[in-house]
Amino acid sequence: MNHRGKIKIDFEPLGKRGDCFTNNSILECAELTGLGINNICGGHGKCHKCKIQIMNEMRSEPTSAEKDIFSPEDLAAGWRLACQTFPDTDCKVHVPPESMTTSQRLQVEGLALSVPLQPNISTYDVTISPPTLANAQADADRLIQTINSQYNLNCDRIDSDVIKDLSHNLRLFNWKCNVSVYNNEIIAVTSSSNSLGFALDLGTTKLAGYLIDLTTGKTLASKGMENPQISHGEDIISRITRIIESPKEAHHLQKVIVKAINRLSLQLCKEINASISEIMESIIVGNTAMHHIILRLPIKQLAYSPYIPAINQSIDIKARELGLHFAQGSYVHFLPNIAGFVGSDHIAMLLSADIRKMDGLVLMLDIGTNTEVSLIDNGNITTVSCASGPAFEGGHIKDGMRAADGAIEHLQITDASVNYQTINGVTPIGICGSGIIDILAQLYDAGVVDKGGKIINSHPRVRKTQDQLEFVVVDEDERSGRTSITFTQKDIRELQLAKAAIRAGIQTLLNVTNHTEDEIQMVVLAGAFGTYIDISSAITIGMLPSLPFNRFKHIGNAAGIGAKLALISYDKCIESKNLPLNISYVELANNKNFLNLFVEALSLGNN
Amino acid sequence: MNHRGKIKIDFEPLGKRGDCFTNNSILECAELTGLGINNICGGHGKCHKCKIQIMNEMRSEPTSAEKDIFSPEDLAAGWRLACQTFPDTDCKVHVPPESMTTSQRLQVEGLALSVPLQPNISTYDVTISPPTLANAQADADRLIQTINSQYNLNCDRIDSDVIKDLSHNLRLFNWKCNVSVYNNEIIAVTSSSNSLGFALDLGTTKLAGYLIDLTTGKTLASKGMENPQISHGEDIISRITRIIESPKEAHHLQKVIVKAINRLSLQLCKEINASISEIMESIIVGNTAMHHIILRLPIKQLAYSPYIPAINQSIDIKARELGLHFAQGSYVHFLPNIAGFVGSDHIAMLLSADIRKMDGLVLMLDIGTNTEVSLIDNGNITTVSCASGPAFEGGHIKDGMRAADGAIEHLQITDASVNYQTINGVTPIGICGSGIIDILAQLYDAGVVDKGGKIINSHPRVRKTQDQLEFVVVDEDERSGRTSITFTQKDIRELQLAKAAIRAGIQTLLNVTNHTEDEIQMVVLAGAFGTYIDISSAITIGMLPSLPFNRFKHIGNAAGIGAKLALISYDKCIESKNLPLNISYVELANNKNFLNLFVEALSLGNN
């Protein structure tokens, strides 16, 4: 077409609207609108990183590039490449998180959540008549009576720390105040009307915190922070070992993490000019070991077979009992764990999806050092925990690194060169998990690596070092003389072990529930890493089952989303407590077939 | 009668049975049975301290001494003097606490309480099947599930400190343990099956502690201890003043009292070879200021008009939050206060009586530095607080002292000499409250003191010192040269102020409820002091209304009894929380007639 018609494109879920011309691709329109979509190959339909879904009737004829990667089912559902699609009429476009650039993805996390607002905490504006000799009712009794009659509540308790300041505060505030109530208990009496919630995904390596306005349900700020316990043990097992060896260490590690949470929440509050004491409720999710460490629960029985948690069911505890500086009487809720190696972060992930409304068989994965996988079948959940190891977080990989600025997160190997995209577009310094999977998939597809995972030396960028073969991703010249970034034979072995653990876990789930792969209607990928990986690559290396692209869904930091949902929705909070009743946990260490499946799953390719 | 028939006498409430002869008086029978009944005059019917009530048909003809002090109504109800009564058949005798010697009274406090045993805490013997790889349920979840299914309970929580030791303990106890449950929360997991309760009457000058077996309702041990805060201020007002002047003092006074409670409960536990960690529940009652001090509540608004407590309603708090070393997850319950100067000890006193079953108008008094008086009319309670001052505790009285060994607690003035009884029969060192009232009553009866309270100098033991007249109770010779013990004109004035405050308080209650004195069906006297005073003396000086003896009842440390009842009876615990709803507190400082009534009540005599 050569007339430049004006059209409007709505980009979801960010809700941005762009004024575009009909001879622009959707990728170009997005750029004009200020929306970052991945693009490694320069808009030539080669890197396949700009996948989008067109949500209305406007359908452009698929190009050959699109036909290569999408199944007819996917194409019919509106899946296209943004660089290959030139709309000629107004349309609505869904941009999945994995196609967004990093900074854009963060914006998505700030969106209001899609449940009715029904927080556990309510805040009321109260004016009290001052006492006299003729009406000398006690301060707390007077407050409770006033709020109950004014708002038709059934408050019957007041936090023991709140009472300590109540007499002073009521007089200071001249008998006008804001009162926060949780479960019939007055947990804060303030002069501010702010009512904030704090959701935390407490990971082994990273803390992700979210500050929520409990009166609107909106995410006001969010922030990640490295878990400072890393200096006391990179992985959770080494931290557990230290605690078992020295009880003092348990105390120290708890202090360290509490201090970090106080700092993180303080930073979040500063961003919106609020006070940390305005945080009226918190939800913390994390793996079982982190849960035990912050709650000072015993860890020894968790470390040895049969890996028994001290407690799985949900825990409500006053923030101050942990050392957190939130509102005086505020509670922290720990969602339930599932097993020794499946924590409340997995419960939160399940919560983020609307399991009751799921049709057919659904697989949900949170990929990391430990990969938790659940198979959901009509509300019944079966869960396994796969020891996938640190490869996906860059661990044990020669030039591996965490997903941070300068990490190669996606790349495309052509005949002799490599195109890559780094996080935030800065000079490459290493390769993160999604990049590693891309490399292996493309080397396998190009025949450089065989089904068994062996480099068979047929690419200009493969070279032999002292002891092994390696593929040069960024050479010395490209790095202005600094050491090259390479992907080695040993790296491939690490990746094989990691992906086989996951794939064998999936297969075990299917076996114990008497299902087959092709019955899976949807595969939901959660977690930072899950959001970034390229599904085609993951299928190519045999990490995920070979299903139409349309059946895969990235949901970002689902643990964080689940925690936020439990914060703003009483129903979701109750659902989280009841979820474990529907979960059967399958211990892979106790499963006779697992080892067979694991060995089979070491091969690359899918069948 | 001169044949020595053998009969049996049952002494209640101690349940002792004596084999006696028909020519013995009940006083002699009691002595033979090892039961101590007061006796100052040597069994001559003169001191009137051995009042008893015969509970069956056996009635001896009243002697003239008995006719002098008992109304026909009292005599018909079986009231007699033990020294004047010679039973000729088996009988049952009720010995009221005021007629018992001090040590005997303590025995009464150890009796089982008369409510159905229904403690807030239940303890269960549990055997758990150990975890395996195939059944890797968490320890706490496993415990909760086991106890719920085995005992049909609805436990849903476990104390956060109990969880910390649970994994270790379950393995240490080899999966067999005793589990204590309060309100669906597991508060202790132990290897011992002891389940103790601790009731405390936390007074300004004295702590009275009781150790209860929660599985039988029996009092296992009881002990009094001086409140060590006395060194930081003799009376509560001076302590309040110190706290207002220095917030540090609040912290210090709390530490001091908590340390004392730990010590007291430890001593009680040692008496029965138990551990303080076996105390599964505690009830603390006390005046509002002591309540605020131990809970670290603000005190300033309590000190100034309109005297507002921070909180009146009941408070449940973990023992450890106060610094008490009881069972890990155990709670301390503070019964509700009524007003700034009417504390939970008064609620406990009301609780000790079965108010719902009371017929007619009942007056209940807890006499002390502050005297709380309630008028109960068909379940409706009207309460005042009278500033009676320290005279009844021996304060501001020249030779006054607290009720301790060597205090003259009762005495009888004859023409020229004084017979007295000291606490535990040791050499006299001063006069306690009940003794002071006896002296004034007898001096007034003998015409030595006139209606206005003035000594009019007509007794051999009255002498003039430098500045005033005084009555010599024990002279220098009788004390082997040490200073004599006397009762001065100024002492009389102190006593007049004290008793007028109480009498005017009673009259105010009658006025505001439109009742008259003679409508009062029962006057219940509680508290250490209330138990010891001689009612005739109290009526003679005009402190109490002139009603038949039969309408008065001593109930001992009713606050302690009430606290114990709340400990062993869920119904009583609930009743204590609801009692304030039926109480109207009348602030005397705000009552226009009070001052008139007070001035009128200064006179001695009863009309």
CA angle A311, A317, A319 (to 5 degrees): 135
Q: Is B315 on the interface with A (CB under 8 A)?
A: yes
Give the C-alpha separation, B570 to B118, whole Å: 6
Report the percent of chain B where pLDDT is more than 70. Answer: 97
The whole-number average pLDDT for the span A113-120 is 86
Q: Is A595 on the interface with B (CB under 8 A)?
A: no
Residue contact B141–A295, C-beta within 8 A: no
Of the candidates A164, A310, A589, the beta carbon closest to that of B163 is on A310
Which residues from chain B sit within 8 angstroms of residue A300, using beta carbons? 167-168
Nearest-CA distance from A160 to chain B in Å? 8
What is the longest distance spanned by two Cα atoms in chain B? 96
Q: Is A315 on the interface with B (CB under 8 A)?
A: yes
Q: Could you tell me the pLDDT band of residue A334, with boundaries at 50, 70 and 90?
A: very high
Lowest mean pLDDT across A98-112, B57-71, B237-251: A98-112
Nearest-CA distance from A45 to chain B in Å? 50
Give the C-alpha separation, A294 to B62, whole Å: 77
Q: What is the interface size between A and B, counted as CB pairs within 8 Å?
A: 134
The residue type at B62: P
Q: Is B583 on the interface with A (CB under 8 A)?
A: no
Which residues from chain B sit within 8 angstroms of residue A144, using beta carbons? 313
Spell out the alpha helix ranges (H) of B173-323: 236-245, 247-271, 288-294, 300-303, 319-322
Is A419 in contact with A39 (CB distance < 8 Å)? no
Spell out the alpha helix ranges (H) of B173-246: 236-245
The residue of chain B nearest to residue A297, with distances taken between CA atoms, is B164
Res. B532: pLDDT tops 50: yes
The whole-number average pLDDT for the span B105-123 is 77
Backbone Cα Rg of chain A: 26
The residue type at A78: G
Most confident of A409-413, B86-90, B544-548: B544-548
Nearest-CA distance from A315 to chain B in Å? 8
Per-residue pLDDT tens digits for B363-386: 999 988 889 999 999 889 999 999
pLDDT at A1: 42
Give the C-alpha separation, A201 to A557, whole Å: 9
Residue contact A139–B163, C-beta within 8 A: no
The per-residue pLDDT of chain A, averaged, comes to: 90
Res. B264: pLDDT tops 60: yes
Q: Is B158 on the interface with A (CB under 8 A)?
A: yes
Q: Is A295 on the interface with B (CB under 8 A)?
A: yes
The residue of chain B nearest to residue A591, with distances taken between CA atoms, is B134
ipTM field: 0.84
Nearest-CA distance from A131 to chain B in Å? 7
Q: Could you tell me the pLDDT band of residue B31, with boundaries at 50, 70 and 90?
A: confident
Which residues from chain A sit within 8 angstroms of residue B585, using beta carbons? 136
Q: Could you tell me the pLDDT band of residue B2, with boundaries at 50, 70 and 90?
A: very low
Contacts of B129 (CB under 8 A, 6+ apart): B135, B146, B175
> A176: which 2 tokens?
């006008």
Nearest-CA distance from A235 to chain B in Å? 23
Report the percent of chain A where pLDDT is more than 90. Answer: 61
Nearest-CA distance from A320 to chain B in Å? 12
pLDDT at B106: 61
Is A249 in contact with A255 (CB distance < 8 Å)? no
Give the C-alpha separation, B383 to B354, whole Å: 17
DSSP string covering A177-236, please? EEEEEETTEEEEEES----EEEEEEE-SSEEEEEEEETTT--EEEEEEEE-GGGGG-SSH
Provide the residue count of chain B: 607
Q: For an interface test with B, which of A139, A243, A308 has the most B Cβ atoms less than 10 Å from its Cβ?
A: A308
Which residues from chain A sit within 8 angstroms of residue B312, using beta carbons? 137-138, 140-141
Backbone Cα Rg of chain B: 26
Per-residue pLDDT tens digits for A568-587: 999 999 999 999 999 999 99
Greater confidence, A355 or A256? A256
Is B587 in contact with B108 (CB distance < 8 Å)? no
Phi, psi of A378 (to 5 degrees): 55, 45
Which residues from chain A sit within 8 angstroms of residue B315, using beta carbons? 160
pLDDT at A2: 46
Q: Which residues 171-200 of chain B have a CB within 8 Å of chain A?
A: 171
Greater confidence, B234 or B573? B573
Q: Is A134 on the interface with B (CB under 8 A)?
A: yes
pLDDT at A607: 65
Q: Is B512 on the interface with A (CB under 8 A)?
A: no
Give the C-alpha separation, A402 to A102, whole Å: 14
Long-range contacts of A481-490 (CB under 8 A, 24+ apart): A485/A399, A485/A408, A485/A428, A485/A429, A485/A430, A485/A431, A486/A398, A486/A399, A487/A397, A487/A398, A487/A399, A487/A431, A487/A436, A487/A439, A487/A440, A487/A443, A488/A398, A489/A454, A489/A455, A490/A398
Q: For an interface test with A, which of B148, B155, B311, B344 has the most A Cβ atoms less than 10 Å from its Cβ?
A: B311
The whole-number average pLDDT for the span A293-318 is 94
Give the C-alpha separation, B234 to B394, whole Å: 12
> B184: which 2 tokens?
């669906």
Per-residue pLDDT tens digits for A435-494: 999 999 999 999 999 999 999 977 899 999 988 999 999 998 888 888 999 999 999 999
Per-residue pLDDT tens digits for B437-450: 999 999 999 999 99
Which residues from chain B sit within 8 angstroms of residue A161, using beta carbons? none
Pairing state of beta strands A157-158 and A407-413? unpaired
Res. A306: pLDDT tops 80: yes
pTM, entire model: 0.84
pLDDT at B576: 95
Give the C-alpha separation, A146 to A192, whole Å: 19
Q: For an interface test with B, which of A142, A147, A160, A299 has the most B Cβ atoms less than 10 Å from its Cβ?
A: A160
The residue type at A286: G
Q: Is B295 on the interface with A (CB under 8 A)?
A: yes
Q: Would you give the DSSP letter of residue B423? A: G
Q: Would you give the DSSP letter of residue B63? A: P
Per-residue pLDDT tens digits for B159-210: 999 999 999 999 999 999 999 999 999 999 999 989 999 999 998 888 999 9
Per-residue pLDDT tens digits for B214-229: 999 999 999 988 899 9
CA angle A341, A347, A351 (to 5 degrees): 160
Give the C-alpha separation, A376 to A418, whole Å: 39
Nearest to B241 by CA among B227, B253, B225: B253
pLDDT at B88: 84
Is A201 in contact with A257 (CB distance < 8 Å)? no
The residue type at B60: S
pLDDT at B212: 95
Q: Is B317 on the interface with A (CB under 8 A)?
A: yes
Which residues from chain B sit within 8 angstroms of residue A317, using beta carbons? 160
Q: Is B110 exposed, middle or buried (0-12, 13-18, 19+ CB in 10 A)?
A: middle
The residue type at B480: S
The residue of chain B nearest to residue A158, with distances taken between CA atoms, is B315
Of the candidates A134, A140, A297, the beta carbon closest to that of B163 is on A297
Is A520 in contact with A547 (CB distance < 8 Å)? yes
Q: Could you tell me the pLDDT band of residue B356, with boundaries at 50, 70 and 90?
A: confident
Q: Could you tell me the pLDDT band of residue B1, with boundaries at 50, 70 and 90?
A: very low
pLDDT at B105: 65
Most confident of A93-102, B39-48, B453-462, B499-508: B499-508
Per-residue pLDDT tens digits for B469-510: 999 999 988 888 889 999 999 999 999 999 999 999 999 999
The per-residue pLDDT of chain B, averaged, comes to: 90
Q: Would you give the DSSP letter of residue A391? A: G
Res. B240: pLDDT tops 60: yes
Helix (H) or strand (E) holding A572: helix A570-578
Contacts of A119 (CB under 8 A, 6+ apart): A195, A197, A214, A217, A281, A567, A568, A569, A570
DSSP string covering A101-113, please? -HHHHHHHHTSPP
Residue in the structure block whose two tokens are 């006390």: B286
Residue contact B306–A167, C-beta within 8 A: no
Q: Is B251 on the interface with A (CB under 8 A)?
A: no
The residue of chain A nearest to residue B322, with distances taken between CA atoms, is A160
Nearest to B124 by CA among B43, B54, B188, B196: B188
Which residues from chain B sit within 8 angstroms of residue A340, using beta carbons? 136
Is B128 in contact with B142 (CB distance < 8 Å)? yes
Per-residue pLDDT tens digits for A19-51: 888 888 899 888 888 888 888 888 888 888 888
The residue of chain A nearest to residue B591, with distances taken between CA atoms, is A134
Lowest mean pLDDT across A98-107, A199-208, B428-437: A98-107
The residue type at A134: A
